[in-house]
Structures are given as C-alpha cells and as structure tokens.
Chain A
Amino acid sequence: MTEERYNRQITLKDFGPKAQKTLGGSSVLVVGLGGLGVPVLQYLNAMGVGSLGLIDQDTVELANLQRQVLYSEEDLGRPKLQVALQKLKAQNSETNFHTYDSFLVRENALEIIENYDVVVDATDNFATRYLINDCCVMLNKPFVYGALHGFEGQVSVFNYKGGPSYRCLFPDPPANNEIPNCDDNGILGVVPGIVGNLQALETVKVLTGVGEVLSGQLLLFNGLNQSFQKIRFKPKEENLKISALEETYDIPICHTVPTVSSEELKKLLDGSKFIQLIDVRSFMEFDDYHLQGSHNIPIDELENRLMEIDFDHEIYFLCQSGKRSEVAARIALSQYPSAAVFHISGGLNRYSAVFS
C-alpha cells in the first residue's frame, strides 16, 4: 500500500524511495492548529511523515473558517485538537499521532519537544515563538518558522546544523501591543495557506536532506505583488548558547517610551510642521518660562484632560528634567497604546543648556 500511495514521490528524481523511507521514520511537532498549523499538518500527513505531534487548546470559531480549511461549520465550538485528529486520521491511517491537550508553555515545552526531530512553529504569538526557539537551541533541534502580517509572510529554518536562530534576527521580543496580531490586523485567508505550505516544504527538506534548506535566510513573501525576497543573516554566538529557559516568556504590558533628544526637538521646532508639544509642568513653572508653541497640561491634571490632545498625530511630552514627561507618556500610552507618543529626554534643563 505504501509504495503505491507514495508512488509520485518515490518516482520523483532527487527524492525517491530513500527519502520516502526517511520521511516515514521521522517525527514532527506542529505547535498551533491555526492558519499555519492546518496546511502544515495536512501536507506532512499526506506526504507520509511517520509521526506527527499536535498541540493546541483552542476551539473552532466561526472567524477561523476563512483560513483554517481543515475545519467545517459542524465543528464550531469543538476542540481543534479533537477535530484535527479525527480528520487527519481519516486522511492517512498510517500516521502515528500524538496529541497534547494544552498550550506549549515553559513547564511542558522541553519535555514535549525532546521527542521530535523537527518543530514547526505555527503559533500566533511572540511568547511561544521565543519559547520554541530557546527549547530548540537547548535541545539542538531545527525549527521551521512561519509568521504572518496582512498579505505578507516570513519563513525560515532556524537552528539547523549550527545555523542562526530566531534570536539572531530578533534578539528580544517586541513590547506588548507593538506589533498587531491577526485578530486585530486581519489576514487574507489564502496567505497562511501559502506560508504554511512553504513551511511544510522546508520541513520535508530538513528531514530528508533533499535540496537546500532555508537556513541563514529569511524569506519574505508579499502576496500583493507576488514577490519573494530572501535576506541573508548569520549566527551570533551568544544566541546559540542557551543553557536554561527564561524565568518567564510572558511579555509584560509595559510600554517603552521612545525619547526625543534636545537636538531632535530643536529640529522639529525649527521645521515648518506644527508639532504637538505638551508641557506637563505646573502652571506656575509654565507661566515663568515655556517654549513657544507648547501647550500646558500639568501632570496632575493629565488623565482628566487627555481630550485636549490629538492622538492621531505625534505627541511630545516635555517637563523640567524629563521625569514627569516620561510618566505623562506612560499615562497617555496606557489609554492610547498605538499613539505616537514621545518624551523629551533631559527636559528643559538639557534643552536650555544646549540652546541657551
């Protein structure tokens, strides 16, 4: 049965019976049963990967159906793990499936990943992605990365034969809310299909040694103009030596407040464009001296007077030393996380020292 079933791969020059046998003896963990996980699993399962690990704890929702094509209307409300297992078994009864009814977390990750030859990152969040990266570096496993933004996708194979890891591209996770996810940003249904299929292809190459693995290269796909671009990058020693997982992979909800220097502020003020400069010192201090064009909202009143600020345009907070302005920026960002908020480092003290 096997030979007939995989006949088109066995007769394929450069693949053949040897690669097919290797595939049959291989195991792959697919983390996430969403837009990327679905096509990855459907194809790895069809092509004859011997063992597949599935991990996810979400249930099928109506908004999943435009891109997660394994699920049907009748599956709404059911656990993805259960539905996926049932459908994949029907697709290929020869595959050994292992299911994990949980999310991949710091407490279970090493123990689970240890059992597989390759991990496919089909997650939708940075915390899990960094966790997978660190586990794979520690356990010396390659992982096949895929991620999406709108009409775009990124694909790469990390930690493959001494090649670079995810941290060699992006050393630390971005701050919370810095990068929107699919839920907030939207995604065209077919795009995860394309990116997931590319991941499935790379997984097969990693397992069988056929072709050139996308290691040390980041593939950038843009569906709007059908462009594929490859960026070369190198391993960095410090990212390939991880001896323990981090204490936590939760990304704290604290906003780093971008600063603007006195010199940059001067340039902005001298430019022709109006800038929204909010001086958060007291009324007395403001009355005594202030920069032309600045608007006074004392820090104590800020929360009640946020409506005086135009959050669709850049906002620059200023105070005497740079301390109150940083607090002001945090207050503003807590209410309007995606606004362009800055504070002037060193405040008026530094500005006056440089430009008096």
Chain B
Amino acid sequence: MTVLLFGITKDIVGSSTLSLPVSSTSRLRTVGELKDYLSSTYPRLRNLSSLAVAVNNSYAEDSDKIDNFDEIALIPPVSGG
C-alpha cells in the first residue's frame, strides 16, 4: 500500500511517500484502522484534529474500506498565504 503525505504529515513522517508492506497492511480493513496504525508508528499524527484522507484520489471517511492496492493520501489543512 502506498501512502502519499502532504503538508505537515510529510514533515512528521519525514518523507513524501510511504510504501507499507503487505505484511503490515493486510489486516487493515478501513481508513480509520490505517490512521490508527500510522498514528502508532508516528504519534504526532494523532495531534492532528483536522485531517482529510483520500483513497485512490477520492475523499474517504474513516469507515471506508481499503485494500493493499490502494493509494492513500493524507491531506491536512494548510494555512499559508
């Protein structure tokens, strides 16, 4: 599973892309479970009260299903102007 990171999530993880091996993603069934999994690895992600997630370029809710072939994007709000 590929996770694309934008804004502050990229700064927290330290990279703009994460490739998660099947061994760690096969038990993740929903967007919410993926968020929990990523937060356990990168605890500062948990600080983000406002974070949009896209699955295959479509906005997704926590309850939406995911699978190993999906491309996920973490999109926090950005404030600069």
Q: Which residues of A contact B (CB under 8 A)?
A: 32, 34-37, 121-126, 129, 146-150, 152-154, 169-175, 178-182, 185, 187, 192, 218, 220, 222, 224-225, 229-234, 256, 258, 264, 267-268, 314, 340, 342
Closest 5 CB pairs of A and B: A148-B80, A233-B59, A124-B81, A149-B78, A182-B80
Residue of B10, B57, B81 touching A123 (CB-CB under 8 A):
B81
B8 within 8 A of A: yes
Report Cα–Cα, A231/B56, bound state, in Å: 8
* Any A CB within 8 A of the CB of B76: yes
A147's contact among B11, B16, B58, B79, by CB below 8 Å, is which? B79
User: Is B24 positioned at the interface, with any CB of A under 8 Å from its CB?
Assistant: no
User: Shortest beta-carbon distance, B64 to chain A, in Å?
Assistant: 13
Q: Judging by beta carbons under 8 Å apart, are A258 and B46 in contact?
A: yes
Contact A232 B78 (CB under 8 A): no
Q: Is there contact, CB below 8 Å, between A172 and B59? A: no
Check A122 against B46 for contact (C-beta < 8 Å). no
Measured between beta carbons, the chain A residues less than 8 angstroms from B79 are 124-126, 129, 147, 149, 179-182
Residue of A nearest to B47 (CB): A258
Given contacts A37-B81, A222-B16, contact A231 B58 (CB under 8 A): yes
With A234-B59, A340-B47 given, is the CB distance from A185 to B40 under 8 Å? Answer: no
Minimal Cβ-Cβ distance residue in B for A315: B43
Known: A147-B79, A152-B78, A229-B57. A314 touches B43 (CB 8 A): yes
Alpha-carbon distance between A129 and B54 when the two chains are bound, in angstroms:
22
Inter-chain contact A224/B47, CB cutoff 8 Å: no
9 additional contacts (CB under 8 A) given A121-B81, A179-B7, A233-B59: A169-B52, A169-B75, A179-B76, A179-B79, A222-B6, A231-B75, A232-B58, A232-B59, A268-B40
